[in-house]
Amino acid sequence: MIQVKNLTFSYTKKPFIKDMNFSVNEGEIFGFLGPSGAGKSTLQKILLGMLPGYRGSAIVGGMECREHGSEFYQSIGVDFEYSTMYEKLSARENLEFFSSLYDKRARSIDELLMAVGLENDADKRVSDFSKGMKSRLNFIKALVHDPKLLFLDEPTSGLDPANNRLMKDMILEEKKRGKTILLTTHNMQDATELCDRVAFIVGGQIYAMDSPHNLIMSKGAAVVTYTWIQNGEQTASCELEKMSEDKQLQELIAKNQLQSIHSSEPTLNDIFMEITGRTLV
Amino acid sequence: MRRWLNLFIWNMRFQARYGFYLLYAFLTIFYTVVLFALPITWRGKTAAMLIFSDPAAMGLFFMGAIVLLEKSQRVTAFFAITPLKAFEYVLSKVLSLNAIALVVAGVLAYVSGSRQVFLVLVGTFLSGAIFTLFGVLVATKITSLNQFILFTVPVEAAGFLPAILHLFGITPDYLKYYPANACMDLVSGRGVTFIGLLFTVALIIFLFYFACHEMLRMWQEQGGAKI
């Protein structure tokens, strides 16, 4: 669906995106992870055809990004991080208006509103919506024309835990429907849960690219931490794969003296810090 | 075509929602009362001035408010990543605002006793297109209503002053084919020279092309693509 080769872009004389190479397969959720100013949004704009002055190649849906016309957007859905709605119109009117800009109208507005729990607020003005409600509405606005490729920019930002879950389930549902999804986020937990592959971007460069599971497993070992009572509470740790070599642990197990034991894997954020030397959270 | 038609209808719905129709219903009644209060011999020129300076020029004033509103709600940023073409957007704005202008101008022309209502409507349409396109151009450059008011002053001076003087027969030779004067000729029901009409249409085509170009640039900048 997307092939990027030797992509370089600059706002000034200094390169902002440097020699990027990656591809995104059809039906995949691909995450761009990086701190603010890393180049994620610029990359998204290049792929959306909004910054044609790049060097190298960026092909989306078989077409070079700098060459496509406005019809290209028939099959693209974009959920910006901020609201892009007419505040004086209702949720339903906004969806009807924006869907009228596309040739294809494949999704039922009522079903989409219901899917994000806004069916009872459909006729309320958007100006009366909370930030979370606007985020959900913005998301379904990107789906009204049933696009093949979705660009999601911080889709769970500002959502409460229940709606965060609902949004992630909807994103996974869209993947099941065959959509290719490009996700830009700071949220490592969301990326781990949603993305088939992620790319760590810092300073306009990709530092690592793989599935979240492979990144976690290749760079860090799971650790087991256990506690027992001996002149107060004592704590010790060992690597999961070396548990059988830990004599103290075996002895505590044999004597039933363990107070607690748990394993912990490094998070994607730990891996990001290790690889890039930067943090996102 | 379907997309353009949808956009045209939605523009009329927005204008109704924001009270444009109510405002112009009130203004039409007010202007009608003013015209009836004047002696019959004054009505023709007064109606021409009223039509030229309000319904025909409404696009110049309202485009700033409309585009600023869309900018503030980031709707224009979204347009950049839809199949919507800048010419569809600009054309729908010009025609939807002109639709109100034509109705008001038609009523005022009829009330003033004009026998050339068709010419008045053609003049209103052409001058409405010019003023709205100037409004679009100014709106793409500004970030506040104060800026818009400031930037439209030269357009108003260049549009209104020669045309009103022309209405009263004061026309320097070099402004013989000036588009604003040609429009005023039509709005006052006097008819227009072929060259005057040609210059007016050429100006509209140029402004339309330029307005579309600037609108697309603004959408892209709003989407963060400023280089």
pLDDT at position A155, please? 87
- CB-based contact B73:B146 (threshold 8 Å): no
Cβ–Cβ below 8 Å for A88 and B2: no
Contact residues on chain B for A97, CB-CB shorter than 8 A: 10
Cβ–Cβ below 8 Å for B3 and A103: yes
pLDDT at position B224, please? 55
pLDDT at position B132, please? 95
The domain spans of chain B are 2-223
Give the pLDDT confidence of A26-58 residue by residue, as tens digits.
999 999 988 887 888 888 888 988 888 888 999
pLDDT at position B223, please? 63
What six digits make up the tokens of B2?
């379907």
Percent of chain A with pLDDT over 90: 38
Cβ–Cβ below 8 Å for A87 and B224: no
Give yes or no for residue B5 having a pLDDT over 70.
yes
* Closest Cβ opposite residue B6 in set A11, A72, A100: A100
Interface test with A, best of B2, B71, B78, B220 (most A CBs within 10 A): B78
Give yes or no for residue B44 having a pLDDT over 50.
yes
pLDDT at position B184, please? 93
Give yes or no for residue B30 having a pLDDT over 70.
yes
pLDDT at position B226, please? 43
Give the pLDDT confidence of A241-277 residue by residue, as tens digits.
888 888 898 889 998 988 999 887 777 777 787 777 7
Average pLDDT along chain B: 90
* Closest Cβ opposite residue A73 in set B7, B73, B82: B82
* Closest Cβ opposite residue A85 in set B17, B73, B223: B73
Give the pLDDT confidence of A184-232 residue by residue, as tens digits.
988 888 888 899 999 988 888 888 888 888 887 776 667 888 999 888 8
Give the pLDDT confidence of B103-153 residue by residue, as tens digits.
999 999 999 988 899 999 999 999 999 999 999 999 998 888 888 889 889
Give the pLDDT confidence of A52-102 residue by residue, as tens digits.
888 899 999 888 888 888 888 999 999 988 888 999 899 999 999 999 999
Reference A224, options A213, A209, A240; nearest CA is A240
For A53, the closest chain B residue by CA position comes to B227
HEC profile of chain B: CHHHHHHHHHHHHHHHHCCHHHHHHHHHHHHHHHHHHCCHHHHHHHHHHHHHHCCCCHHHHHHHHHHHHHHHCCHHHHHCCCCCCHHHHHHHHHHHHHHHHHHHHHHHHHHCCCCCHHHHHHHHHHHHHHHHHHHHHHHHHCCCHHHHHHHHHHHHHHHHHHHHHHHCCCCCHHHCCCHHHHHHHHHCCCCCCHHHHHHHHHHHHHHHHHHHHHHHHHHHHHCCCCC
Cβ–Cβ below 8 Å for B220 and A50: yes
Taking any CB pair shorter than 8 Å as contact, residues of chain A touching chain B are 11, 41, 45, 48, 50-51, 53, 70-74, 76, 78, 80, 82-89, 97-98, 100-103
Interface test with A, best of B6, B66, B82 (most A CBs within 10 A): B82
Give yes or no for residue A8 having a pLDDT over 60.
yes
pTM: 0.83
CB contact, 8 Å: B83 with chain A? yes
Give the pLDDT confidence of A137-182 residue by residue, as tens digits.
999 999 999 999 999 988 888 788 888 899 999 999 999 999 999 9
Give yes or no for residue B227 having a pLDDT over 50.
no
Give yes or no for residue B48 having a pLDDT over 70.
yes
Cβ–Cβ below 8 Å for A101 and B6: yes
